[in-house]
Amino acid sequence: MTNNTLLIRNADLLCTMNPADAGALEGSRPGDNAGAEIRGGGLFARDGVIEMVGPGDTLPDSADTVIDMTGHVVIPGMVNTHHHLFQNLTRAVPAAQDAPLFGWLQTLYPIWSHIGPEHIYWSTALGLAELALSGCTTSSDHLYLYPNGARLDDSLAAAADLGMRFHGTRGSMSIGESGGGLPPDILCWQEDAILADCQRVVEQFNDPARHAMQRVGLAPCSPFSVSMDLMRETAGMARELGVGLHTHLAENVEDIEYSLAHFGMRPGEYIEAVGWTGSDVWHAHCVQLDDGEIELFARTGTGVAHCPCSNMRLASGIAPVRQMLDSGMKIGLGVDGSASNDSGHMLNEARQAMLLQRVNQGGDAMTARESLAVATRGGADVLGRDDIGMLAPGYAADIAAFDRRGIDFAGSDWDPLASLVFCGPVKAGYTIINVRIVVAEGQLATMEMDRLLSRHAAMSHDLMRRSGLAG
């Protein structure tokens, strides 16, 4: 790396999100402590790793790259714990706009059956660009269908080209409609082939090192699209290879009904039976967890990717996040697939997480600082990482900075940090990942935007033409 040192200085406010930096705030609840909030703060990083954080007069005077953050609030880069990046090719498809989860999937599966490698590459690149422009620096992705030669390799390549810290997961579906599952048979693989490709992508691409830019997890799509045997075998393989496990769970009432009808168990009982609890596991949604399941997750260190916008869009319900936080569960945020959210904005996800808990449980049910903590260090915990999600020595130099000098934040000088949630969402002024400037002055810096939009549009229209839904 040519420019191996970075100096951030003069931030109106820099928030570390490191609980060790400050004592518990009076009246705070678990997760409410945002760490130190430093006026005129900054940081110094070398080779992608933070060495110093503090007021300007405690930092070096120079670096290879120096960014003046006057007018900005600086926070750790946000962590997206659940996504289906390929789905941004099918936003706002008319037939799927008003359907709940199962009907929504059954409408879109036939369209997605035409996806190939180029569709995966350009949808991943666009989705990660969208996330970076919202202040996200690490994203997971749940790619669970591989028709027409598409591979996880295509997503991993796009993430590397864009510069996003990336947790790609090798998803899978093995039970199609003919076997009582939800997806069409054409999108399902034989389970031995699934396991073989899982092992291939982990051995080829997973980087277990601290500050790794690329990791791989294993992610059967859902209990209604794979067998119990595949769930068990995937868990065994993941633990043998030392990687994380991810799936959908308890997303809506239909999900609960399916689990009871097919397995005679609630989702929590099911995942415990197949070995899917522990600190190496995170489940998406979990809207319908009951008290016993919340206790199970808290006791075993099992993580949850909370997806508030998707849960509203598909009418899945309101996840009991307040109860989850109070239980000590690990919780991060996920934007979910762009076809179920139609947006990939992490700051908006933090805002909606806060608002949903308030409308459900009262005006003080979740604070702005709590939602930002869940969006940053909470997501890092869920992904099993102790090297991102905070601005602290030894942590990755992953930074999001928001310019508060525009109309969006007028009149909110009394609490600049909370204003990011209350007054947003807005684009990030800067998004820096591993010292690389991915967003500069609100513009994508690592890919040419016009070409990205053009290629993505071509892929989207190609998919709809192949599906007979566009001319």
Contact indicator for 306, 325 with CB cutoff of 8 Å? no
List the structure tokens of 105. Answer: 């999937």
Of the candidates 136, 192, 193, 180, the one whose C-alpha atom is nearest the C-alpha of residue 159 is 136
Of the candidates 165, 98, 163, the one whose C-alpha atom is nearest the C-alpha of residue 444 is 163
From CA 249, how far away is CA 259, in angstroms rounded?
10
pLDDT at 22: 62
Query: 102-114, pLDDT tens digit by residue?
Result: 888 889 999 999 9
From CA 461, how far away is CA 465, in angstroms rounded?
6
From CA 185, how far away is CA 178, in angstroms rounded?
7
Contact indicator for 125, 432 with CB cutoff of 8 Å? no
From CA 137, how far away is CA 446, in angstroms rounded?
13
Of the candidates 167, 149, 142, the one whose C-alpha atom is nearest the C-alpha of residue 86 is 142
All domains of the chain in start order, with CATH: 5-77+393-444 (2.30.40.10), 78-382 (3.20.20.140)
Chain-centroid distance of CA 313 in Å reads 17
Q: What is residue 86's three-state secondary structure?
A: helix
| Separation in Å, CA 106 to CA 185, 254, 284, 437 | 12, 14, 19, 40
Phi and psi based region of residue 7 (left: phi greater than 0; alpha: psi -120 to 50; beta: remaining): beta
Q: Any idea of the CA torsion for 349, 354, 355, 360, to the nearest 10 degrees?
A: 120
pLDDT values of the chain reduced to their tens digit, one per residue, 471 residues? 456 999 999 999 999 999 888 654 333 344 457 889 999 999 999 999 999 999 999 999 999 999 999 999 999 999 999 999 999 999 999 988 988 878 888 899 999 999 999 999 999 999 999 999 999 999 999 999 999 999 999 999 999 999 999 999 999 999 999 998 888 999 999 999 999 999 999 999 999 999 999 999 999 999 888 999 999 999 999 999 999 999 999 999 988 998 999 999 999 999 999 999 999 999 999 999 999 999 999 999 999 999 999 999 988 999 999 999 999 999 999 999 866 788 899 999 999 999 999 999 999 999 999 999 999 999 999 999 999 999 999 999 999 999 999 999 999 999 999 999 999 789 999 999 999 999 999 999 999 999 999 999 999 999 999 988 876
From CA 305, how far away is CA 310, in angstroms rounded?
11
From CA 182, how far away is CA 184, in angstroms rounded?
7
From CA 396, how far away is CA 16, in angstroms rounded?
12
From CA 136, how far away is CA 146, in angstroms rounded?
26
pLDDT at 3: 65
